[in-house]
Amino acid sequence: MLMSKRTIIVLAGVLLLLLAWWTCHRSASSADAQTSGGNRRNATGPGSGAVPVVAAKVEQKDVPIYLDGLGTVQAFNTVTVHARVDGELVKVLFTEGQDVKTGDVLAELDPHPYQAVLDQAKAQAALDQVTLKRQTDLRARNVVAAQDYDTAVANAQKSQAAADAAQVNLDYCYIKSPIDGRIGIRQVDVGNLVHAADQTGIVVITQVRPISVIFTLPEQTLQDVTSQSGAQGGLRVFAFDRGNTTALGEGTLTVVDNQIDQATGTIKLKATFPNEDLKLWPGKFVNARLVLTIKKGATVIPASVVQRGPQGTYAYVIKPDKTAEMRSIKIAQTENNETVVEDGLKPGEDVVVDGQYKLQPGAHVELTSPPGQSPAQTAPAKSPRGKSPKPAKS
């Protein structure tokens, strides 16, 4: 009888434990079911699971195609002014840094020795002319021999040539500018004796209006340049500063060098710039940008649309059902925050400008506008009748 009571007690305890476990399990299952049901209800609500993104339209317009190279500014003409006769430098008639014109007198050598030689030569030439006149009269009357007459003619010509040479040397005492340009730093001071054979000139003049830019491009681009008649010049060239941010001027391609540099694999080109504002200076390093052609009706997107991954460049395209499609694209160039796409997109399609980091292929999207803009400003309006926008004028 005692064993029977113990058994009953044990069984009763086991039943109580089983009852408690079943009650707890049922409560937990009910809570999970309510949570799951709530989630399902929330998932079916408006805008469920949509990723907010900023979108823009793929545009079609005319875009310039550039070739970029490194260049150096070079004076259009550079002249080192030398004395052409020997003498003492008695006057300097220019100011360092001033602009001069062709023919302006820059300096003066002591003219007195050359003036004396000229006076002597003129006197001798005058005397020989008198002798020649006399011999001519006598020869007309057949009084003198032909040889004496010929000698008088030769002496007159010789003395006149000496006078002319003396006049040239006297003129060389007044040193003039051979070109329009800007004066550099004076190399010789007043009072020094200068010689025509001196290696160092008096001053250097550089022509900076117009001015040249010598730049290089990879040899692979030579065919593109020549196919656009670039070898004959005429293509537009822009010069930018070292940081490639500030435009320094617009010029014209004038020369394509006649050989390729085999050491660097580049071709040298020369462009001429008006340089009226003097933003280009001889010796300055610049980034040159050659406008190769204008691509008509190019497919253009904002640069921020372009994404890069292991498989190359791609963009997220918003499909009509508001889902995102990852699409591979081929880029031609990026300029001024605009990217020209060669393949992968069509004008009029919607692409994601901002918010790509949250997206996965097939994800639902919700269009938003960037701060400070209305939704209408996010993407260009569609053209009438669903046609693609007209290309912008170049």
pLDDT digits (tens, 9 = 90+) for 339-353: 999 999 999 999 999
In the predicted structure, residue 160 carries a pLDDT above the cut 50: yes
- Residue 230's pLDDT band (boundaries 50, 70, 90)? low
Mean pLDDT of 296-319: 92
- Residue 368's pLDDT band (boundaries 50, 70, 90)? confident
Token pair 């007459």: residue? 149
pLDDT for the residue 236: 93
> Which amino acid would we find at residue 190?
V
246-282 pLDDT, tens digit each: 999 999 999 999 999 999 999 999 999 999 999 999 9
Mean pLDDT of 308-328: 92
Mean pLDDT of 306-311: 91
The class level of CATH for 67-75+210-295 reads mainly beta
7-23 pLDDT, tens digit each: 777 677 777 777 766 66
- Residue 294's pLDDT band (boundaries 50, 70, 90)? confident
- Say if CB 256 and CB 226 are below 8 A apart: yes
62-94 pLDDT, tens digit each: 988 889 999 999 999 999 999 999 999 999 999
**Range picked from 14-28, 100-114, 307-321, 336-350 for highest mean pLDDT:** 100-114
> Helix, strand, or coil here: 311?
coil
Domain ranges (residues) in the chain: 51-63+298-386, 67-75+210-295, 83-203
73-92 in b/e burial notation, b at 16+ Cβ within 10 A? bbbbbebebbbebbbebeeb
Give dist(CA 277, CA 182) in Å, integer: 14
Measure Cα distances from 191 to 41, 92, 93 in Å: 102, 10, 14
> Helix, strand, or coil here: 259?
strand
- Say if CB 98 and CB 218 are below 8 A apart: no
pLDDT for the residue 371: 53
pLDDT for the residue 373: 52
Name the more confident of 46 and 186: 186
In the predicted structure, residue 221 carries a pLDDT above the cut 60: yes
115-147 pLDDT, tens digit each: 999 999 999 999 999 999 999 999 898 888 999
305-344 in b/e burial notation, b at 16+ Cβ within 10 A? bbbeeeeebbbbbbeeeeebbbeebebbbeeeeebbbeeb
Query: Which CATH code is given to the segment(s) 51-63+298-386?
Result: 2.40.420.20
- Long-range contacts (CB closer than 8 Å, 24 or more residues apart) made by 293-297: 293/64, 293/65, 293/228, 294/62, 294/63, 294/64, 294/65, 294/394, 295/62, 295/63, 295/64, 295/65, 295/332, 295/340, 296/62, 296/391, 297/60, 297/61, 297/62, 297/391
In the predicted structure, residue 36 carries a pLDDT above the cut 80: no
pLDDT for the residue 70: 95
CATH number of 83-203: 2.40.240.10, 2.30.110.10, 2.40.50.100, 1.20.1250.20?
Answer: 2.40.50.100
Q: Which of 102-106, 229-233, 247-251, 291-295 has the lowest mean pLDDT?
A: 229-233
**In terms of DSSP bridges, do strands 51-57 and 365-368 run parallel, antiparallel, or are they unpaired?**
parallel
